Amino acid sequence: QVQLVESGGGLVQAGGSLRLSCAASGTIFSINYMRWYRQAPGKQRELVAAIIRGGTTQYADSVKGRFTISRDNAKNTVYLQMNSLKPEDTAVYYCNAHIRVPGPSPGSYYWGQGTQVTVSS
């Protein structure tokens, strides 16, 4: 019933920018952590950025100073603003969130389907 849907991926030249969005829908009690991961062909999935409900953020060293993660709690949405993009940023970007539904059950992690980001030289 709960799902995450990413959007905003596409093609961009090196040095350009993209803004990714991830919206959570369904019957949700609260969202604790929201994260962006990425996976390039032949590589393992890696954490790009994370944000908690209070606003604390963390970034992979490879994207510090270029990417910014933010969230709109009222809309259950997390964003990733990507500036000064490099060809090595090319990957499928996935949204991940820890979500609680109404009731006594503990929260669970959910994944989106991913959105492709391609950066040309």
The predicted-structure confidence for 80-92, as pLDDT tens digits, reads as follows 999 999 999 999 9
For β-strands 57-59 and 67-72, DSSP reports them as unpaired
What local confidence, expressed as pLDDT, does residue 59 receive? 98
**Closest CA relative to residue 120, chosen from 94, 81, 89:** 89
The predicted-structure confidence for 24-68, as pLDDT tens digits, reads as follows 999 999 999 999 999 999 999 999 999 987 889 999 999 999 999
Percent of the chain with pLDDT over 70: 100
Question: Is there a contact between 85 and 18 (Cβ–Cβ < 8 Å)?
Answer: yes
